[in-house]
Every structure is written in structure tokens, then in C-alpha cells.
Structure 1
Amino acid sequence: FVEIGPDGVLSGMARQSVVSESAVFVPFLRRNRPEAVTAVTALGRLHVAGVPVDWSRLYEGSGARRVDLPTYAFQHQDYWIVGEQHGADLESIGQEPADHPLLSAVVDPPDSDSVILTGRLSSHAQLWLADHAVGDTVLFPGTGFVELALRAGREVGCSTLEELTLEAPLVLPEHGGVALQVVVDAPDDSGRRPVTVHSRGEATDLPWVRHATGSLTTAVDNVVDGDTAWSTGQWPPADAEPVDLKGFYEDMAEAGLEYGPAFRGLTAAWKSGEHVFAEAGLPEGTEPGTFALHPALFDAALHGVAVAGVVGEGAALPFAWSGVSVGVVGVSVVRVRVS
């Protein structure tokens, strides 16, 4: 239905009278709006609704010409930003941007030495999260909880995650996302700060679920068993035997861990006695961003545990951490020793 007149009054009335989801009402002019813009917009709406529009007549004499459309998502070249969350105008609502791919804002409660970091998780907003699945369920990786705690620690000057225990899995829904809060409480007499990670569904009447609890500290201990020769000397060690990783991720899938491309980062492995040495890297198209250590890369580093064969049969996921600190941030390739 096309309304030719000075405004859209009839179109508005008709929408209340015609009971049909397929009916389209297009006023060609609107009061107090530029006529040319409104008319061309109306033509566009009609075109989208399937009405033939002679565009060549419209642009005749204007010098306009046909051009190829930009590519779209299914042609693997996007023209929009995906996967980053930026605090566009958080200052206007009394919050500070968190400058982190998984966290949006930092909140300092009054009369308290605690800090709250908030964000939103979604396998559609952070596409790489969809590549971490157990069976048919997309789970937020344990390394992601470590990353959240480390980011919260930096906010209060604590560089080491002394311990972190996962209490409940964080399942990402197929549609929509979950709200996220990381809370760092005031320090105790020793300087340790408790940290917790909570989430809840997008409906505000849902309860918060505590997924992880632990402690942060300023102490740093980067010594690995008192032996750093493996990381500074010959790589891999001379006595290490290469491990064939062909079919490795297929075997993991059969055990229930269905890793997508972002989490298939283990590229090489060697065994030497009770040690496994490995290399892992982020796949092409996945950037380290502002993570301390990208959770997908950290997770791939842990796949060396499966190479070592110390977890038995079936799927195994990490649920407890201790003594985690990151010396160099933003890396895309790591060397790993599993003992």
C-alpha cells in the first residue's frame, strides 16, 4: 500500500485495520522531512518488499552507474567489526572501560576497597568461543576464567593468580549471551585478595551463578622446577623424540572434546622421559588482542597433557589452578613443557 499525500496518516490508520503480517504500508512523503530523501527511502522499502522499481529512470542524467556490491559474511571477508566489546560511552554512566575483549567496564563501589569488572559473553559476539565444545554444549574454557582473574588482578596491582578453583561450568546459550561479573574483594592482612567470577542469563530476574573462586597476590615466582635450560637452550631438547599428532584432535573429539579451529593450536610435540615438550600457536585469523594470554592459545598449550597421557581415557578439563603469572603479554606462539 503506497500513500501519496503530505504525510503518513492513512498508512498509520491502515496498519491498525489490516490484519496481515505480509502487508506493507509506504507513505511517499512525511511532514517536516526532506521530500527527496523520504521519496527515495520509500522506493527502497518498496524494492525490498518485492515491488519492481525502475532505478535507471530514477538516476537518469545523474551520472550514477552500477557497481559491484561489497562482499558479505559468507564470502569470508567482512566489512564490520566482530568479537570485540568496547565501552563506547561508559564514562557517561559512571564506569571506566575495561579495555579487554571479554570485559567491558570497571566499577569501583563507594566505601569499599573492592573492584567489579563486568562484561557479556556470547558465542556470536566472541566467535572463537563456539570452538570450545564438550559434546553438543559450548563451554567457556577454564583458561578463560584464568584470563578474567588475571585481568581483574591487574586492576588492583596483583600480578599473580595464587589459586583458582572452578565450581560450576559456564554454558554459553545457542542464542543470546550471559552477563558476567568478576569481583575482587579487599586485601587481607597478607595482601591477598579474594576473586570470584559470576554469570547469569540475560533475563535480570535470573540468579547469579558463581563459577570460580580464588585469590590474587602481588608475589611473582616464574621459576619452573628451578630449570629454565629447556626454554633458553636447544629446542627441542636433544634427547626428545617427536610425537606424531596426526589424528590428535579427531581422537579428542571421540573422547567428547570437540575443538573447533580456534582451539586446535597444538602444532608439534616431543617426549623426553617423563616430560612432554610442545609448541602451540593461534590459528590464522585469531589475534592475541589485549588478552594477557589468549584463552584459546593457553588451552592449546594444555593439550600437551593429553600427549603425556596422564589423564587417562575420556574427556578431561582443568578445574584448579595455582601460581599463574604472565611475564610477556600479547603472544601468538608458545613453547610448553608438561611434567
Structure 2
Amino acid sequence: MALFRLVESFGVKPDCSVTRSVSSPPRTSRTCCSLDDAAALVAARGRLMQALPTGGAMLAVQATEAEVRAVLEPFAGRVDIAAVNGPTSIVVSGEAEVIDQLFKDRKTSRLTVSHAFHSPLMEPMLDEFRTIAAGLTYALPQIPIVSNLTGLPVEEYSADYWVRHVRNAVRFADGVGWLENNGVTRFLEVGPSGVLTAMAQQCLSGEAVLAAALRKDRDELESVLRAVAALHVAGVAVDWAAICGPWGGRRVQLPTYAFQRRRYWPEPLTAAPCWRVPSTRSSGTRSSTATPTRSPPLSAWTSPTSCVASCPP
């Protein structure tokens, strides 16, 4: 939620949103319910899930949804599809002793989880969760939110919706497909890593720009600004004055021809924020004695020698 507000303060505002699993309630608090109600929903969901008996398992399978459903058919009520993350990226969930016998001929990965989420093993908590969800107040979405239950825009939220959200499969691939079919070509992942960015890439059939606001094991400031710069190059309106206000950035002219013997490599300043500055090594087409033109920190994010070059449109 805080990261969304930060990006929003940079002038980056979504035309629509797609969420995944437990991120849905807090994302919903932006547009459809109060932050207190969203927190209550998430807390109840987590508490009731953790109170369930352990013993379930979740398995990522490299196969189509149809192939997986055919294998699971004899085990109805014990194992089910938990997520459709891509055309051939499926997660199954349920009783561990059943899952351990399945998909020996497929590439699989056992997930490290405490419970078998989005499976029949969640059903004992659903009635109590429905009672809690029914006591909250919901409103119509202020921006289109694509449901990970149906892969279609949410028309309204209700207690029944959130109960199905706990038990049914996460249809992330369908949501991304709906966005692409409706003209969305620029995606920003607002979360702690780039996991969904990689998943979304597998779901897209055409060209698109995908950026993750944060990346695991990378500097947070650098990650956020690189993501915003990638969107800027792709035509998204960005409020650079809001971003650079704290350190007084300004636009600079970039060279057109190497024979002008001027280079515009950004150089670190004493008071500059902490980021990695591109190398100042001269190429074979530039004079080794050329005098660099110093520029304020903003150039580190608008110059093709840094962020923009690594995030092509």
C-alpha cells in the first residue's frame, strides 16, 4: 500500500490493476474499502488459515491447465488447482500423500508452505471467515480491478467473493490476458520483488513493457527509479519535479555525434543519493582526453548511459 502511494506521488497512476492471492485485500483498500477493514480481512484470513491442521502440500507443475485437471480428476476433494500462473505454469494444492504420487513425468517444484492454500483443506475455516467478511463495508472499485478469481474486472466485493478467494484457484494468467486483450501494454509490479513480472511475461503474446518497483537484493531507491524510468521511456507520464525535488535535478542535453568530443557520463556528487553510477571509461570512438560535462543527479536516470539504456521501450 505504501509503495503504491509512493509511485502514485511520482505521477504514475494506473488505468487498471490486477492482484494475486493475499495481496488482493490490501490492494482493494486503495479503492473499495477502508484500510481498517482491509487489515481486518487480512488478519482474519491469516489467523484462520494458520489454525488449520498442517499436513498439506503445494506443487508447481510445468503443464497446461487441461493436462493437470485430467490427472487430478480421480482425486477430487483431496487435491485441486491452486493457481494458474501461466500457459504451462500450474500450482496444485491438497493432501501431501496424494501430491507426492503425481506428475512424476513432469518438471515440478515443491513449494515451501505451512498449509495447502486454495485447496479443499481450507474448507473448515470458510464459515467463520464468511461471518467476519460479512461484517465489513465494501464499495465499488474506483479504478478497474481485474479479479484473480475470474480473470475479469470485479463488479462488486462481498463476503462470498472473499470466501471463494480463499478456496478457489488464483487465475493470474487469465487476468493478465484480459489486460492485454484490452490494450494494456505497460505493466508495473508494486511489491517486494519481480516474481509477478516474470510470470506476466510468460502470459503475454505481444510486445509490452514490464517493470518491477522493487527487486530482491537490489538497492530500493535504484530499483524504484529504474522502474519509473522504464515507464517514462514507454510513454507513461511521470512527475519528475516530484521525484527530483529533494536534490534539485534538471534536464540536460545529450550528445548526438561522437565527433563533438564531449561526453555526458553522470558523475557522483557529494550530496547525491546512493546509487550505482555508470562507468566513465571512454569508448574507442571518443577522445580519451575529452572533458566530461558534469550534470545533477537527475541525469543518472534520464541518460541513455544508465537506466534508459537497460529498459528499452
TM over 0.5: no
User: Which protein is richer in strand relative to its size?
Assistant: 1
**RCO greater where, 1 or 2, for CA within 8 Å and sep 6 or more?**
2
The TM-score with structure 1 as length reference comes to 0.22
Q: Whose Rg is larger?
A: 1
The TM-score with structure 2 as length reference comes to 0.24
